[in-house]
Amino acid sequence: MHDEMLGEKMSPHRRIMVFGFHSDMLTGVIKELRRRSVEVVYWVAGKHDFMSSVFNNKSVFPNTIFHNMNDAAVGIPAHEMDTSAFEPLSEEFIKRFFECELRSLTMMDSINHTGVLFAKKLHLYHHYLKYWRGVLTALRPDAILFNDAPHVSFKYVVYCLAKHFGIKQVILRNTKISGRVLIVDDIADYRKLRMAIEAQKGANFSFNDLNPDIRDHYEKKRHVDLSPLYFRTENVKERTHRLHRFLPSIRVLRKNIKARTLLRNTYLYAKMLFIKNEPLSLEKFMSPVWLIKLQERKFAKTKKEFKKEYTGRQINPDYSKKYIYVPLQRQPERSTLPDGGVFVDQILMIDILSHAIPSDWVIYVKENYMQWVLPRAHVGRFIGYTEKIIEKSNVFVVPAETGTFDLIKKAQAVATVTGTPAWEAVLRDKPALVFGNIWFMYCEGVFRVHDVESVKNALEKIQDGYKPNQQKIINFLKAVDETTIMGYRDVRFRGREDSNLVFIKNDKDNIERLTEGFYKALIE
């Protein structure tokens, strides 16, 4: 296999591979790009609506090789892809991707619905590496588009291979500023944002120099104590119960009796239980809804064990102590893998902090409540997880219901892999330690750390009285203003109460904004 730079030169019209982009909004973006002489040579997707309107309708993209995402996950090649000439992997080539291998194998856990053993997972990873190397070599795309940081195993392998071969990558990333997205070419480096910050050195911007939506975000994050939107707008317990409940709630029964729809809806519900779904998985299988509910019941018991272990060891925080606040991030999630790198193991971060803090400081760790609620969360912890956290005498876990803004207010600093509380902290004049890669890692008040020495260096400055400079934060937000796209990636984000999308006329306007951003990234 030759390791020449496959993406070294862009052709007059762009030939791209696409991963995801199966929402109506993002499919609209790809259609607009086609009108600008961008040819889609390969498209991996899997949403039902997309499959019926695009995947199975060759008249829309007649020259595109379509690959069902579920097939890709289990190692089934695209039907139109001839793999007979794909070369076997060499020992040397495999060794170049050891870091990719580790992360890819870890990502498999989130879709391992059938208990696939390690030996088969390793074989599947090697298949990914061989197949996607063959595809990139055969098609020689000018660029690869991802609708998010690749955090499904086979997509991450494609990302690693593209970096190896020098193929341009165009990746859509959300920010914590609703209605603002970034387009990057590396999941660990927000290059345009970093360059904008460097270019404006020496300049000071006023608050009024920021766009109104960013001003509003800044003011709310500094002064308003709001829990995350999903927590405010959804009944978390009800959401949990719906996953594994066979019988409807009393409220639903009363509603149907009153509306005289009980018999009809009972019939439809019973019929729904036997509908077969094909979840994204490492092995092909069709699962009826009733079986999924049984599995979720089993997983719910596991999550209850996690919660029981945690609550049995929690203490109320003593705000008179000097402490580092560590809010755990829910897992599995893109925010810790791939964004966290090795710190997908959050205990690794806590161990470093425990060794680095002054002798009279403590660490307060707070679990993410959604870790006990959301689907797949049972693979994000293990029995004994809390015990490992509190092995150190200076580390304590506090109730998950403890107000995050109360903990930020009294903390010496906030430490996280890539979590939002770090961003909220610096906006409230508290320094933050960030172990992973996130868009606000370049901001004033954020210390990027990775070992005991870098943490100690940061804490020395904090002990000397360091506080984030709000003028420098405004300067950072000006760079964010200039390098982000005002838009939303999906209709789910369109009506959010905190999104400030009044500047976007409609979905068509949004598609045009996103299209322009992607096209600029492709031709630069």
Q: What is the pTM of this model?
A: 0.93
- C-alpha 249/C-alpha 1 separation (Å) is 60
Provide the Cα torsion 209, 210, 216, 217; round to 10°: -140
- For the chain, give the mean pLDDT: 92
Please check whether residue 500 is in contact with residue 34, taking contact to mean a CB–CB distance below 8 angstroms.
Answer: no
- E strand or H helix that includes residue 270: helix 262-273
Cα–Cα distances (Å) from 105 to 126, 155, 157, 341, 495, in that order, read 10, 12, 10, 13, 36
Strand-pairing partners, residue 322, are: 361
- The pLDDT tens digits for 145-171 are 999 999 999 999 999 999 999 999 999
**249-269 as b/e, with b when 16 or more CB fall inside 10 Å?**
eeeeeeebeeeeebeeeeeee
DSSP string, 341-382: GGGGSHHHHHHHHHHHS-TTEEEEEE--GGGGTSTTGGGS--
- CB burial of residue 59 (10 Å; 0-12, 13-18, 19+): exposed
Q: Which two tokens stand for residue 195?
A: 């360059």
| Residue 264 confidence (pLDDT) above 50 | yes
- C-alpha 92/C-alpha 249 separation (Å) is 58
CATH topology of domain 304-478: Rossmann fold (3.40.50)
Of 88-102, 229-243, 418-432, which range is least confident? Answer: 229-243
- C-alpha 43/C-alpha 406 separation (Å) is 46
Size of the chain, expressed as the number of residues it contains: 524
pLDDT at 52: 75
Q: Which of 113, 50, 42 is nearest to 81 (CA)?
A: 42
Of the chain, the percentage scoring pLDDT greater than 90 comes to 78
User: Phi and psi at residue 75, in whole multiples of 5°?
Assistant: 95, 15
Residue 297, classed as helix, strand or coil, is helix
- The pLDDT tens digits for 186-219 are 999 999 999 999 999 999 999 999 999 999 999 9
> Considering just the CA atoms, what is the radius of gyration of the chain in Å?
24
- C-alpha 98/C-alpha 129 separation (Å) is 11
Q: Which two tokens stand for residue 33?
A: 């790009």
Q: How confident is the model at residue 246 (pLDDT cuts 50, 70, 90)?
A: confident
- The pLDDT tens digits for 309-363 are 999 999 999 999 999 999 999 999 999 999 999 999 999 999 999 999 999 999 9
- C-alpha 13/C-alpha 347 separation (Å) is 48
**Boundaries of every domain in the chain:** 14-198+484-523, 233-300, 304-478
- The pLDDT tens digits for 20-39 are 999 889 999 999 999 999 99
pLDDT at 1: 44
Please check whether residue 203 is in contact with residue 475, taking contact to mean a CB–CB distance below 8 angstroms.
Answer: yes
- The pLDDT tens digits for 80-136 are 999 999 999 999 999 999 999 999 999 999 999 999 999 999 999 999 999 999 999
Please check whether residue 306 is in contact with residue 371, taking contact to mean a CB–CB distance below 8 angstroms.
Answer: yes
